[in-house]
Amino acid sequence: MPWTIAGLLAAAQLPDSPSPRLDAEWLLAHALGKPTSYLRAWPEREVTAAIAERYLAWLDRRRQGEPVAYILGFQGFWSLELEVAPQTLIPRPETELLVEVALSLRSDEAGSALDLGTGTGAIALALAHERPSWQVVGVDRIEAAVALAERNRQRLGLGNARFMLSDWFSALAGERFTMMLSNPPYIAEDDPHLRRGDVRFEPLSALVAGADGLDDLRTIVTLAPRHLHPGGWLLLEHGYDQASAVRALLCDGGFEAVESRVDLAGHPRVSLGRCR
């Protein structure tokens, strides 16, 4: 008997997923090349054997814990659709707070922004899309990440962004920016969450930063003033329980107007300061 849309969704047993129905709908919709609304409108529509086979194979991968974004090869961020790959962190909704805060700090006048540890290019491309007059640079120390970010840039047609291979600031000698942003690794190396859920499939180098999770944040805060114009802003994403520690780093690093902003869950997620 041929598969129907309703039958395929009913076959989706994903007990370990935090959002099993949503995962199943996303996978089937993309196997069909349709929006998820199509599934609800046509539940009894028959599905070809090839599409059913693809969808069931994707379900098997999801049961093993592989993130939906890696299975499909893309993830939405801000108003953009980005290609993703296992060499990079999957862009997360809470990171949109970095973009939101950055846009609130500067209006549409000409400026320059640096995205440190760009990964897919999510932060840099969101800023370049929202502020066409800005020049935005994204850097990453992983060559495959830089290539991925550049593919996303080309597909989106954003000529005011560029991507470079750089271990934090190593390739940026003499360059200064009016704004700097980063979602760096900030998880402690012994954090038990590293062995659970989707995060098991993401690169540890994009997640872990020493015994307390602050190693990379310390490096960025220490070196950032050399690459910021006076009055330029440094914005940092961090763990929900790291805000006070990151604010202390910013104050000790000579930044002023230091504060933290909360995400949609009410957690302090971004801390920022202005270069003197």
pLDDT tens digit sequence for 255-276: 999 999 999 889 999 999 999 8
Co-location of 20 and 99 in the same domain: no
* The pLDDT of residue 5 is above 80: yes
Co-location of 134 and 260 in the same domain: yes
Co-location of 16 and 54 in the same domain: yes
- pLDDT band (50, 70, 90) for residue 196: low
* The pLDDT of residue 212 is above 90: no
CATH of the domain at 151: 3.40.50.150
Give the predicted TM-score (pTM) of the model. 0.88
Co-location of 29 and 102 in the same domain: no
Q: What is the pLDDT of residues 158-195, one digit of tens each?
A: 999 999 999 999 999 999 999 999 999 766 565 555 55
Co-location of 158 and 54 in the same domain: no
Co-location of 101 and 190 in the same domain: yes
Co-location of 187 and 234 in the same domain: yes
CATH of the domain at 56: 1.10.8.10
Per residue, the 3-state secondary structure of the chain, as one string, reads: CCEEHHHHHHCCCCCCCCCHHHHHHHHHHHHHCCCHHHHHHCCCCEECHHHHHHHHHHHHHHHCCCCHHHHHCEEEECCEEEECCCCCCCCCHHHHHHHHHHHHHCCCCCCEEEEECCCCCHHHHHHHHHCCCCEEEEEECCHHHHHHHHHHHHHHCCCCEEEEECCCCCCCCCCCEEEEEECCCCECCCCHHHHCHHHHHCCHHHCECCCCCCHHHHHHHHHHHHHEEEEEEEEEECCCCCHHHHHHHHHHCCCEEEEEEECCCCCEEEEEEECC
- pLDDT band (50, 70, 90) for residue 11: confident
Q: What is the mean pLDDT of the chain?
A: 90
Owning domain of residue 47: 3-64
Cβ atoms within 10 A of the Cβ of 249, count? 22
Does 69 fall in a domain?
no
Render the burial of 211-231: b for 16+ CB within 10 Å, e for the rest.
Answer: eebbbbbbbbbebbbebbeee
The per-residue pLDDT for 177 is: 97
Does 152 fall in a domain?
yes
Alpha-carbon span 2 to 51, nearest angstrom? 11
The per-residue pLDDT for 89 is: 87
Co-location of 103 and 187 in the same domain: yes
Co-location of 149 and 221 in the same domain: yes
Tell me if 177 sits within 8 A of 228, measured CB to CB: yes
Co-location of 95 and 137 in the same domain: yes
Mean local confidence (pLDDT), 52-71 = 92
Q: What is the pLDDT of residues 74-108, one digit of tens each?
A: 999 999 999 999 888 889 889 999 999 999 997 66
